[in-house]
Structure 1
Amino acid sequence: AGDPEEWLDVLGNGLLKKKTLVPGQGVESRPQKGQDVTIRLKATLEDGTVVEEDPALTFTLGDCDVLQALDLCVQLLEMGETALIVSDAKYCYGVELLAARDAPDLELLSGKEKIQLANRKRERGNFFYQQADYVLAINSYDIALRIVGSSSKVDFSPDEEAELLDVKVKCLNNLAASQLKLDHFKAALKSCNLVLEHQPGNIKALFRKGKVLAQQGEYREAIPILKAALKLEPSNKTIHAELSKLVKKHADQRNVETEMYRKMLGNPSTASTPRKCKDKLPWSIPWKWLFGATAIALGGVALSVVIAARN
């Protein structure tokens, strides 16, 4: 591997190293995050087997468009520099920085160009999602949404507007799925609601909104949303299974609540209570009032748990 002093330990833990083979044009020629860079790439295994070769690979630096080893190390390359990069994934990269230019002005992109760019970021997000790397997936979907939502000085055709909306909806739905995987319920709910603002009958958004609410224990709100999704697609077994599960959980929850109300208000025996006093028993109190009182009591219990946890 040569003189250890020739290697730059990029992460400081030996997992990613870079060695200059051909010097570049100086530190000031290094590319900046957000620029589109073009590199000559040759990727090999440790035994020298070539697994990827590209004479002009172009990507946006810092957007996670490529493997992280490349994204990090290309930021350290000088223009014209050729370097060897060794990563923990047992790949070696022979890389030469060919060009770096500012990313295109989003306001000046044509409808077709904006759609292509947003879709490229969305597809990268899908790649990360399949790898179960939900943080990077969210990052890619956010970039795609920023592209779609950017203002424009160019007029788009109705078809292009419709296609941009389609990309936006796909990104929001995928964003919600990633956020749900990370238990970011508030953010996932917001993403679902943004989809439903554009497409109230979007089945994926309805399903995920129902799941988010269910995860938060809001079964009463989640059930009708999942019913609406199932009505739109009665053959969807996933929605049917989720709905059946929630209906059972809601029933169990109500049984627990009912028992709790009984304990709070006492459990009078109908056998020992005179009939003439029936209307004066606590059970004659309106249920609406009971729910309010119980909510206050539950709040007190929850607060106690939080305080205990912090101690």
Structure 2
Amino acid sequence: MSEAERTLVDKSESSSFEDLASAAAHEIEEAKLAEAAATEKERSPEIRTDQWQDVLGSGALLKKIVKQGNESSEARPQRSDICRISYEVKIRDTGDIVEKREQVKIYLGDNEILQGLDLALTLMYQGEECLLQIAPRFAYGDIGLKSGESLGLVGELESPKYEGPVIDGDTWLEARLELHDWAEEPEHETLPIAERMEIGTRRRARGNWWYVRGEAQLAVQLYRRALDVLDESEGGITSPTASGALPPASDALRALLDERMRVHNNMAAAQLKAGAYEAALQAVSRVLSCQPENAKALYRKARILSAMGRTSDALDAARAAAAAAPADAAARAQLQRCQQRAGRDRDLERRLARRMLGAGDQSAPASEPDKKPSRAKMLVWGSLLLSLLVGVASVLVYRYKMQAH
């Protein structure tokens, strides 16, 4: 096993390692933001509107207020609050517009917008407007953004494509951001099913966007938040019956369950990509407990078990996935990979068994290893004897000829 594989296995020992890493990162950022907020509060309004503030102390996120907000209550939005904002994002060096949205609602801290905007909102007052300079790590990262790729705008399942120059890992952005107002996130149980579906679906879509970009950790965060709001309401679907069938439920609740299964499936894929195998296995197991023939869950279960080295179990899951979706090329390919790996494992076991039996077989006599050397010696002595006989015969013939003369 390679060092990288050992690292991934180590990660999977804790099913919530990505949550711990995420929590630690949030604590660090929140501490920096709290320090920045305290520093900003000490400055006079004149200074604050004329200068760029280094929000995180690293130069990666700069903020300048262009319109003061309502500071009378000293209230600022907190994580999970629903913020109503307007913003415009441009490439700093060229001025090309990347995103522009008006009066959009986002859940603060859910990475529904670029991280630089998300972080800046925690330092803003109601009605405040500011300019931001955002380093790549808090924008589109090392992956960047190319023309034709999805912007992943929250609340839009069919997000528009980006049309502009390439944004690479060195591209800084500039943004104008306005915080209109905010409200606390309501208890999910109080929301109608239709609204919960809408929230859960938008979080799943944004999580998918992060996943496609290779940001598995951010995708998992969005999927977990989606599951929070898609959880069953009291009296709804809880678990299958003893026979494996689901109890009767309304169409709305069944739609809610289907959406939850999609989120669990996607989260398993993200956790697999992050190396959290145990957590990924738990996610697909939840899907299969309600939908035993879910081909996508069976396929991902095969991949997860294969990554964990559980070849036999992976082969069973791959066979089930191929049976559930016989026309699916990915399922057939996974079955073939599992069969090949199982064959290699069997060959290795046979070779090891032969070696062990050969090393442990004490039934042969001790002189047996000398058989081949003994035959060789006999051939040598036979050759010598034949040479001697030929020599004696030659001498006799010679003497006979001499006597005849």
TM-score range, shorter chain: 0.7 to 0.9
Residue in structure 2 matched with residue 119 of structure 1 by the alignment: 201
Residue in structure 2 matched with residue 63 of structure 1 by the alignment: 110
Alpha carbons 2:49, 2:65 under 8 Å: kept = no
Alpha carbons 2:318, 2:338 under 8 Å: kept = no
- 1:147 to partner: Cα distance: 0.8
Alpha carbons 1:109, 1:154 under 8 Å: kept = no
1:50 aligns with 2:50: no
1:97 aligns with 2:187: no
- 1:249 to partner: Cα distance: 1.5
Residue in structure 2 matched with residue 23 of structure 1 by the alignment: 68
- Give me the whole-angstrom Cα distance separating, in 2, the residues matched to 1:9 and 1:194: 45
Aligned partner letter, 2:57: G
Residue in structure 2 matched with residue 277 of structure 1 by the alignment: none
- Give me the whole-angstrom Cα distance separating, in 1, the residues matched to 2:96 and 2:132: 15
- Give me the whole-angstrom Cα distance separating, in 1, the residues matched to 2:303 and 2:186: 39
**Rg larger in structure:** 2
Residues 98/185 of structure 1: CA separation in 2 closer, same or farther (3 Å cut): same
Unaligned runs of 5+ in 2: 1-46, 137-171, 238-248, 366-405
Residue in structure 2 matched with residue 81 of structure 1 by the alignment: 128
- 1:286-301 matches, cutoff 5 A: none
- 1:104 to partner: Cα distance: 2.3
Aligned partner letter, 2:227: L
Residues 237/12 of structure 1: CA separation in 2 closer, same or farther (3 Å cut): same
> Whose RCO is larger (CA < 8 A, sep 6+)?
2
1:166 aligns with 2:255: no
- Give me the whole-angstrom Cα distance separating, in 1, the residues matched to 2:266 and 2:322: 20
Unaligned runs of 5+ in 1: 274-311
Aligned partner letter, 1:138: V
- Give me the whole-angstrom Cα distance separating, in 1, the residues matched to 2:211 and 2:251: 29
- Give me the whole-angstrom Cα distance separating, in 1, the residues matched to 2:236 and 2:288: 27
Residues 23/263 of structure 1: CA separation in 2 closer, same or farther (3 Å cut): same
SS state at 1:96 partner? strand
More deviation, 225-234/205-214? 225-234
- 1:50 to partner: Cα distance: 3.4
Residue in structure 1 matched with residue 288 of structure 2 by the alignment: 196
Alpha carbons 2:63, 2:120 under 8 Å: kept = yes
Residue in structure 1 matched with residue 268 of structure 2 by the alignment: 176
- Give me the whole-angstrom Cα distance separating, in 2, the residues matched to 1:113 and 1:265: 67
With the length of structure 1 as denominator, give the TM-score of the two structures. 0.80
Residue in structure 1 matched with residue 344 of structure 2 by the alignment: 252
- Give me the whole-angstrom Cα distance separating, in 1, the residues matched to 2:96 and 2:57: 27
1:214 aligns with 2:311: no
- 1:204-243 matches, cutoff 5 A: 204-243=296-335
Alpha carbons 1:106, 1:150 under 8 Å: kept = no
SS state at 1:14 partner? coil
With the length of structure 2 as denominator, give the TM-score of the two structures. 0.62
More deviation, 260-269/114-123? 260-269
Residue in structure 2 matched with residue 309 of structure 1 by the alignment: none
Residue in structure 1 matched with residue 86 of structure 2 by the alignment: 40
- Give me the whole-angstrom Cα distance separating, in 1, the residues matched to 2:49 and 2:358: 78
SS state at 1:29 partner? coil
- Give me the whole-angstrom Cα distance separating, in 1, the residues matched to 2:334 and 2:235: 45
Residues 52/269 of structure 1: CA separation in 2 closer, same or farther (3 Å cut): closer
Residues 211/50 of structure 1: CA separation in 2 closer, same or farther (3 Å cut): closer
Q: CA RMSD in A?
A: 2.7
SS state at 1:28 partner? coil
- Give me the whole-angstrom Cα distance separating, in 2, the residues matched to 1:268 and 1:50: 75
What number of residue pairs does the alignment pair up?
272
- 1:270 to partner: Cα distance: 11
